[in-house]
Amino acid sequence: MNMLIPSVLLPSRPKSFYRLALMNFFFVMGILFSSWAIRIPDIKNSLALSDAELGGILFGAPLGQLLAIAPAAWLIGRFGSRHAIIGGMCIMPLALVTLSLAPSRLWLFAALAFFGFANNILNISLNAQAVGVEALYGRSIMGTFHGMWSVGGVIGGIVGAIIAPLGVSPLAHFMVIYCYALLTLATMLRSIMPREVGKGNRKENHNPSKIHPDMYLALLGIIAFGSFAIEGAMYDWTAVYFAQILNVQEELVRVGYVACLTAMVIGRLTADSLVNRFNVVFVLQMSGLCVALGLSLALLFPSLAPATFGFALVGFGMASIVPLCFSLAGKSDKFSAQVSISFVASISYFGLLIAPPMIGVLSESLNLRWALSPLALIGVCIVALAAILKRMRGEGLHL
């Protein structure tokens, strides 16, 4: 595949350097995100928030992510993904710290918007660069990058699950993560790919709001929308579900969250081999089926063992969906990687925007168990939409 990339665009360092740096940055991003998610019950209690109040405040993070989409595409197009990665790695850890300082609901909402904005600047820039590194390798490796995010998420979740019952404050917790993130950036700074590759035959347009993509990109966005809706619900409500519905001991409140992210690690680290052996449609349909079955199990049998296994199955199912959608979008022959990914993200992040607060509102009128139940239907929809994707792109759909 390197033969298709103009030699002037090929980076000078061995491709393994760029892959290693990206794996570390995805890993750190996973730790940053899960460090917040695992401490949600603590911050909820410290501010005496109801489910509906928490749901409304959680609206801040996806709102910030949505607002970051156009600036991220412009920054990457104007300065390159390298500079956008550096900026994101500086501001996302800082945003995490501001979450622990929230003295009020309004502060927490604003801090979450800042956190979401920084997260998506880093997310889109890392995915844009990942498409370039994947082009250097000439095979599917996107799942490995997102797998490292999940590894970071699991480790961040385990650390939080251990130290939270010990009384370690979110501020102390987040300050340690802040220092670790900056240390990683300083260590890996010279291994960030200095320029994009694989853009030679694509139309350049750095504003995703001014492009007119085909239905193929729109369909990828819709599939990713469903996955992000499920992810947002799992990140924000799993620990609360275990605390309120299962009424487990404090030490077990975060078991479902850790199980979900652990299964995501397995799913993402095996996704590339599954795609290379079978095809994208097979993996997407298998993923949707796992989501539907896992949620049904966790909600129909609300006790520790089936709920833990069910959320793990959901984690395995949602592991591959967004990475595959972003990877396929980044290979568009019409637009540059950052514009294609940003367009898909502009649709998909509405899932993160809508699902968590909606669950909070439904939980007040029903209960959290039934508020989560519509998410099982999303898994079924992903199975059906993947079949449409297959017809649009043909039988193979190999990456």
Q: In this structure, is residue 7 part of a structural domain?
A: no
Average pLDDT over residues 64-70: 84
Q: In this structure, is residue 201 part of a structural domain?
A: no
Please state, in angstroms and rounded to a whole number, the distance separating the CA atoms of residues 99 and 113. Answer: 10
Tokens of 224: 């990713």
Residue 177 belongs to domain spanning: 14-194+209-393
Q: In this structure, is residue 2 part of a structural domain?
A: no
Per-residue pLDDT at 200: 41
Per-residue pLDDT at 249: 84
Per-residue pLDDT at 289: 96
| DSSP code, position 203 | B
pLDDT at 396 over 80: no
CATH of the domain at 285: 1.20.1250.20
pTM to 2 decimal places: 0.73
Average pLDDT over residues 81-86: 90
CB under 8 Å to 182, separation ≥6 — which residues? 89, 90, 93
In terms of average pLDDT, the best of 9-13, 51-55, 164-168 is 164-168
Tokens of 46: 């410290």
Q: In this structure, is residue 199 part of a structural domain?
A: no
Q: In this structure, is residue 204 part of a structural domain?
A: no
pLDDT at 145 over 90: no
Q: In this structure, is residue 158 part of a structural domain?
A: yes
Per-residue pLDDT at 4: 41
Tokens of 353: 């925007």
Q: Which amino acid is at 208?
A: P
Per-residue pLDDT at 9: 46
Q: In this structure, is residue 259 part of a structural domain?
A: yes
> How many domains are there within the chain?
1
Burial class of residue 204 in the structure, from the number of CB atoms within 10 Å of its CB (0-12 exposed, 13-18 middle, 19+ buried): exposed
Please state, in angstroms and rounded to a whole number, the distance separating the CA atoms of residues 266 and 254. Answer: 19
Q: Exposed e or buried b for every residue in 212-238, given b needs 16+ CB within 10 A?
A: ebeeebebbbbbbbbbbbbbbbbbbbb
Please state, in angstroms and rounded to a whole number, the distance separating the CA atoms of residues 373 and 378. Answer: 10
pLDDT at 185 over 90: yes
Tokens of 385: 């939409």
Q: In this structure, is residue 9 part of a structural domain?
A: no
